[in-house]
Amino acid sequence: MLSWFKKKKKKEIHPVDFAEIGLDMHSHLIPSIDDGAKDLQTSIELINALQNHGFKKIITTPHIMTDFYNNSIETIRSGLKTVKEEILKQSIDIKIEAAAEYFVDYDFQQKVLGGEKFLTLGDNYILIEFSFLTAPHNYLETIFQLQLKGYKVILAHAERYPYLSESDLEDFINRGVYLQLNVLSSIGYYSNNVRERANWLIDNNMISFLGTDCHNLNQTKLYDKCKIEPMLSVLLNSGKLLNDQLM
Ligand SMILES: [Fe+2]
């Protein structure tokens, strides 16, 4: 009897195929403009790795974070151009675009109020991230201002903020914020607490986007391990993922 149960449980776990998602919407692949790919060769190696894992299209999202990664639409577009030329030269069959991962701080909030134009994914989605240490001042107001300006707000790696409670995350959903989950959170790459939070978010149908948040080659070597994590299989079968809206 016990062995029957064991067999049944094992059968329920289907390895995830990233080709089913098709599109990776969070990564750091533009050379030497943030803490991702350090040079063009690494960019290409990362892109090849993502393609081998099944992705057909990538929207890469360099950090824009005053004081650390002072990027702009221009630095990102120029880096993307270099990467695209190399992809063409090497005949790599993958689509690549760029948006950004906006760090919510005072400077960003000023830009929102000033009506600055932001880089977006698909139909006006903007990817934002918070500090991992403390909640940004007035973040709900910032999100509201972005929404008033017509942006659809995605919170990057929603499972990774230790100061956000489950009810804070439910509040985001009620306010029309889309939550993104990192592939690596499924194996406890960041911490066990993050893994548990990821599981809770998936169980409650709260995740709209899955992204690799790929920064380096070591991370790409762990995706096979992620693919056999039941929580990712549950997420892919949830019918909630909107990655294909960005194709
Ligand atoms: Fe990121």
> How far is residue 130's CA from residue 104's CA, in Å, rounded to a whole number?
6
Q: Which domains does the chain have, with CATH numbers?
A: 19-246 (3.20.20.140)
Confidence (pLDDT) at 90: 97
CA of 212 from ligand 1 middle (Å) equals 8
Ligand 1 mean position to 6 CA, how many Å?
Answer: 38
Distance 63 CA to ligand 1 centre (A): 7
Cα 158 to averaged position of ligand 1 atoms, centre (Å)? 11
Helices (DSSP H) in the chain: which residue ranges? 2-11, 18-21, 40-52, 73-89, 106-113, 139-148, 166-174, 192-203, 217-220, 223-227, 230-236
Distance CA 134, CA 3 (A): 48
3-state secondary structure of 181: strand
Distance (angstroms) between ligand 1 centre and the Cα of 27 equals: 6
Closest CA to 190 of 153, 215, 170, 165: 215
Cα of 8 from ligand 1 centre, angstroms: 37
* Cα 35 to averaged position of ligand 1 atoms, centre (Å): 9
CA 9 – ligand 1 centroid, Å? 34
Compute, in angstroms, the gap from residue 209 CA to the centroid of ligand 1: 13
Q: Residue 199: which of 182, 186, 208, 211 has the closest Cα?
A: 186
Measure the CA–CA gap between 125 and 118, rounded to whole angstroms: 10
Distance 145 CA to ligand 1 centre (A): 22
Ligand 1 center–CA 91 separation, angstroms: 27
Model confidence, pTM: 0.94
Residue 32 is classified by DSSP as T
Residue corresponding to tokens 């998936």? 202
Q: How far apart are CA 149 and CA 170, in angstroms?
A: 23
Q: Reduced to 3 states, what is the DSSP secondary structure of residue 144?
A: helix
Rounded distance between C-alpha atoms, residue 70 and residue 75, angstroms: 9
Taking 50 as the pLDDT cut, the residues of the chain under it are: 1, 8, 10
SS3 at position 174: helix
- The helix, strand and coil proportions of the chain, stated in percent and rounded to the nearest 5, come to 45, 15, 40
Q: How high is the pLDDT of residue 13?
A: 66
Residue reference for tokens 């994914």:
121
Ligand 1 centre and the CA of 73: distance in Å? 17
Q: Give residue 61 CA to ligand 1 midpoint distance, Å.
A: 7
Query: How far apart are alpha carbons 201 and 170 in whole angstroms?
Result: 9
Which pLDDT value is given to residue 193?
98
